[in-house]
Structure 1
Amino acid sequence: MSDFDQMGIVVDWLDACRKGDLATLLDLYADDAEVKCTCNGTHFSYCGRRELETYWRPRLSAFSSAGFGLEEINPAADGIDLEYSVAGSLRIHASFRFSAEGKIHSTVCEPARQNAHDGCVC
């Protein structure tokens, strides 16, 4: 069992996305963190703070202006699984894994089953 609240970290992640707060969002990630995005039929991987900033900066603007909602959040065997919506309809599934220090080590996002044909903006 970890010494930190994984669910709480993901809720903080969600709050940072809703507010468009890039600095807070990046601080939730480990220095060597990775984001893998399999949305829109493509496979992209972003590693380290600089690449995460490049990935998140335009997306946060879209999230905060379109509306960003929590659909489901559940503990997983090795982290937290989150389903969120953008603009009230586009649903995205994200899996979070954590470092021993309580930072997000990896995030994998993909279209959720409800709107998989629409791709995603994650």
Structure 2
Amino acid sequence: MSDFDQMGVVVDWVDACRTGDLTMLLDLYADDAQVECTCNGTQHYHRGRRELESYWGSRLSAYLAAGFGLEEIEPAPDGVDLEYSVAGALRIHASFRFSPEGKIYSTLCTPSRQNAHEGCAC
């Protein structure tokens, strides 16, 4: 187990998403971090700060406008698992893994249980 607060890092991630703070969000990631997203039926990979900035920039604006909600957060064997909602209904599951320095090294986003009329847009 690492000597940093993994749950605290994810709570900071949630706070950055809720406030639309892209700089804060990016600062939580390691320089060579990656995001893998399979929410729209296609697998997308993003690696490094520049790609993550492009990936999260438009999403944070949408989250801020629609509303971002924390649904569930729990420790996982290798990190932290999070479920969040956008606009009160759209559910996304994110798994976070960390570098030894306490930065997010990887995030895997997948669709979670959805309302029948909604899809995933992470």
Q: Which bin holds the TM-score, normalised by the shorter protein?
A: over 0.9
Point out where structure 1 has 5 or more consecutive residues left out of the alignment: none
SS state of the match for residue 3, structure 2? coil
Q: Deviations over 1:6-27 (max 9, x none)?
A: 0000000000000000000000
**Contact 1:81/1:96 (8 A) holds in 2:** yes
- Match of residue 112 from structure 1: 112
**Contact 2:85/2:91 (8 A) holds in 1:** yes
Percent sequence identity over matched residues?
A: 76
**How far apart, in 2, do the equivalents of 1:44 and 1:68 lie?**
22
**How far apart, in 2, do the equivalents of 1:117 and 1:80 lie?**
28
- Match of residue 34 from structure 1: 34
**1:117: how far off?**
7.6
> Normalising to structure 1: TM-score of the pair?
0.96
**Contact 1:16/1:24 (8 A) holds in 2:** yes
Matches within 5 A, 1:31-110: 31-110=31-110
**1:115: how far off?**
4.4
> Normalising to structure 2: TM-score of the pair?
0.96
Q: Give the residue type in structure 1 aligned to 2:59.
A: R
Distance 1:115 1:47, change over 3 A: farther
**Contact 1:41/1:119 (8 A) holds in 2:** no
Q: Give the residue type in structure 2 aligned to 1:71.
A: E
Q: CA RMSD in A?
A: 1.3
**1:121: how far off?**
1.7
- Match of residue 3 from structure 1: 3
Structure with greater helix share of residues: 1
